[in-house]
Structure 1
Amino acid sequence: MGTFSVRSAVRRAAAGLLSVISVMLVTLLAAGWATPARADTVSEIADGLRQSRLYVSSEAAGALSDAERADVRAALDSAGRADIRAVVTREGVGQQTLVRMLRAVHGRVGEGDVYVAVTADNRMLAISDRLSGSEINRLITQTGGDDIAARLIEFSALADEKAAEKSRSHTVTTFVMLSLLLVVVAGLAGVFLVSRRRRRRRDEMRMAELKESVEEDVTRLGEDIMALDLDVTDPSLAPEAREDYTHALNAYDSAKGAVETARQPEDMRNVTSALEDGRYAMTAVRARLAGDPVPERRPPCFFNPQHGPSVQDVPWSPPGGALREVPACAADVDRVLSGESPHARMVPVDGMRRPYWDAGPAYAPYAGGYYRGFGGVDLLSGMLIGTALGSMFGGGWGFGGYPGGFAGPGDSFGGDTGDVGGGWDFGSGDFGGGGDFGGGDF
């Protein structure tokens, strides 16, 4: 009997202990000492926003009813000018935590123009790559009330309208800029066309003046040949004289034909080269007819190639230029050595006449042809230093043609956004513990 009594007592004591433990566990759970529920991670929020423009975290599940969620989603989906995505989370979240969360979520979603977060105690914050921080703050200030759903719907409409306004402003600005660009392009095209037309007319006028000058040289040679009045069939005419005379006639014909077909200044080089050849042949004919030795073939008279071959070099300088030696005919040698001015070849330039060496680039081929057989550029560049034509021979014969997105903290994603008008109370609470979402997924 004694043993049975002891066992019964032990059973009653154990049952009583289990009852106490059960009561204590129930009491602890009721007091909220259970392990808190895991917060939603950034990845979960991002996945949710890919499927819908509204995400309500598990910690704020009671902030919106099913009907309110449907109304908010409809408002967000109806925004046609801005892609607005909203996150509803628990109360007591700090500003910096929400900013980091929104930026991280956008980085994972990869699209969206405006991201807005609302806490369960109706505190709102947003970031955007289309609207500035001040614009976002004004939109938040314009929304109000204790109804989270109504506030999100109103914010969506305001943000969409602001995006449309900026889009219209951008369109107008683009149109204005394109119009101005078209005006500028049209103006530049007009200036170019007018300039090209003027340049063409100027080139045509200078080509006409050059051709007039060269034709004068050709005519002068023809007159000198005719003045000899030789009969090439006269048996008493020395064969050498007949040959030189025939050579002069052929050179004259060649020069005449070349000047008729010339279309640009460069074409005149062949004309004046033929004229130089014909001039020397005429000098040889006169010497043979006079019974004198045929003179040495020298460069044409620098002062006027119409004078024919030079007989010697004389010192000469252009106005303000250095002294140099130039070839001259007998008459100009006498003039220069006696202190007189030589008889310069005067050519038309813009309706006036001036020495050919001061007539501009069109006369470079003209001079080049006369001195082609006597060193060309090397000879002319030295004689023409300090003249308008001299610069054309400095480098050779090239007479040319007649003459803000989403970003990290501190960058441009509306960074200083906040509930300016709503009196946001930025607490110290963290989203998911330790300042991170979902215990480290952020």
Structure 2
Amino acid sequence: MKTATRRVLFGPLLLLVAALLAVVTVLAPGAHAADGLDEAAAALKKGPVYVDPRAAGEFSSGQADALAKKIKDADKPVFVAVLPRAPEYPPQTVLRDLRTKVGISGVYAIELGNGFNAGADTRVMSHSSVQNLVGAVKRSQYPTVSERLNSFVDSADAQANGHAPTAWDAGSSGFDVGTAIGLGVLIAVGGGGAYAIARRNRRRKEAAERAALEDLRVVVDEDITAFGEELDRLDFSPGEPGADDAMRADYSHALDAYETAKSAMAAAQHPGDVQGVTEALEDGRFSLATLAARRAGEPLPERRLPCFFDPRHGPSVADVQWAPAGGAERTVPVCAADKTRLDEGLEPMARTVRTAAGDRPYWDAGPAYAPWAGGYFGGGLLPGLLVGTMLGNMMMAPHAYGAGFGGPEGGDVSGSDFSADDFGGGFGDGGGFDGGGGFDGGGFGG
């Protein structure tokens, strides 16, 4: 009887001890055999900086800790690896392979021997931004690894989109009994940790949506104001001499679009709601263009997309060849004024928006502007216009913006499910993932 009682009492305890031992085995440093990129990836899942022991002479543990704290304090998905020149780190593929093994969307910087390079998912940072940052670091010819990495991280922290991975909050170099007991309690109660992480991720996403909506509100309010000023400048009266029913219908439609845009923006709760606002403004501007043609006795305008460079310019009049910085040429619709500027070799009057890195063209300002642009150009057409830019690549992702955010943000787990064309930066000499665009000879030059 006593033996049976002991089994009843100690059975659950033994199960809990076994579970704790399993957790310790998995999480304790050095508990599994790994080397090369596997070791680097395992470390970067727990914290932002990894230094291969063979490269410790170039970047000390103190310097690594300070850099990791800087990244964590910024709450950005920036990953840094300091690696030696070794066969397990092939320069042509090391960035893509490290990104694949870590499986988290972000900015990845590698110091490889005496060379530096970086890459990023375009939802986090555009290809051109990464290229420029890598080029700036290389051309600065910093004498130490610490100076190179800190310079890059300072800029990347300011420009990267997204948040630090949740796993970093729990990451540490040690594993003590108290932690084991805490994990055991979580195992015993079941699911508590997972629920807390899910709730924190949801709150982060909601906060990101609120911030994105406020950024969009500034831009959309400017668009609505500009459209109202166009209505005033038109100075049309339904009862004026020569006005007919068609003119009055155009004018009424433009007024309705103006009111619809204002009401929709006031009611917007999510970034995706903005698409309906800019759809109304695009429709209203075409009505104004039609009304202006009727009053002047000119042929009615063809229904075309608005000017690509700034939808406030109104309907486009022609299609021209244009290429974004570092990108391939594509056909875009333009207004008469921008066509003239391009014909004269001048830059078009591009719509810029405010970002953490300063004013940028809307197509290079991050994913928050997808619904704004989608309302003007149509969600199906815009990605083709913007191939190779941050916004275009994001919109071609499987879960592009519609009613709100979609797809993995910076710091979210994506596993190996990412496109090589959607992860790039300062690469050249045939290496990397975007086929070129490197600086100072490209690749891992010194």
TM-score, normalised with respect to structure 1? 0.49
What is the TM-score when the length of structure 2 is the normalising length? 0.48
The structure that has the greater radius of gyration is: 1
